[in-house]
Amino acid sequence: MSRRMLPSSPAGRIRLLLQHSRVSEEQLARVLDLPPGVAAADILAGSYELSAADLVAVAELLDVPVTVLSGQVPISGHLGVSLRLGTVEAPDVPAEALEYADRILRYKGLLDSWLGASRSPLAGVGMSTDKYYVRAGRESAQRVRDGLQLGEEPIPDLVELAERLGFPVVFCLLPEGMHGLAVQDEREGVTTRLIVVSTRGPWMMQRYTVAHELGHSLYKDDGQVIVDLVEIPDRLPELRADSFARHLLLPSAALKHEVTRGRREGLRGMS
State what percent of residues in the chain have pLDDT above 90: 64
The CA-CA-CA angle for residues 104, 187, 59, to 5°, reads 105
pLDDT of 72 reads: 85
28 and 40 in contact (C-beta within 8 Å)?
yes
Please give the Cα distance from 247 to 141 (Å, whole number): 6
pTM of the full structure: 0.85
H helices within the chain, ranges in order?
10-19, 25-32, 40-45, 52-62, 66-70, 79-85, 95-115, 133-147, 158-164, 203-219, 236-249, 252-270
For 27-96, the DSSP string reads: HHHHHHTPPTT--HHHHHHT-SPPPHHHHHHHHHHHTS-HHHHHTSS-GGG-HHHHHHHT--S-TTS-HH
Mean pLDDT calculated for residue range 213-234: 87
72-96 tens-digit pLDDT: 888 778 999 999 998 898 989 999 9
170-203 tens-digit pLDDT: 999 999 999 999 999 987 677 899 999 999 989 9
Which one of 84-88, 108-112, 213-217, 231-235 scores highest in mean pLDDT? 213-217
Q: What is the DSSP-derived secondary structure letter of residue 20? A: T
pLDDT of 249 reads: 94
Residues in the chain: 271
Domains 3-72 and 95-257 in one fold:
no
Q: What is the DSSP-derived secondary structure letter of residue 156? A: S
Residue among 190, 168, 219, 182 nearest 116 (CA): 190
46 and 90 in contact (C-beta within 8 Å)?
no
- CA torsion sign for 90, 94, 95, 98 is negative
In the chain, what are the domain boundaries? Answer: 3-72, 95-257
Q: Which CATH number fits domain 95-257: 1.10.3720.10, 3.20.20.210, 1.10.10.2910, 1.20.1340.10?
A: 1.10.10.2910
Q: Which CATH number fits domain 3-72: 2.60.40, 3.30.2310, 2.40.50, 1.10.260?
A: 1.10.260
State the pLDDT confidence band at 253, using cuts at 50, 70 and 90: low
The CA-CA-CA angle for residues 183, 242, 251, to 5°, reads 120
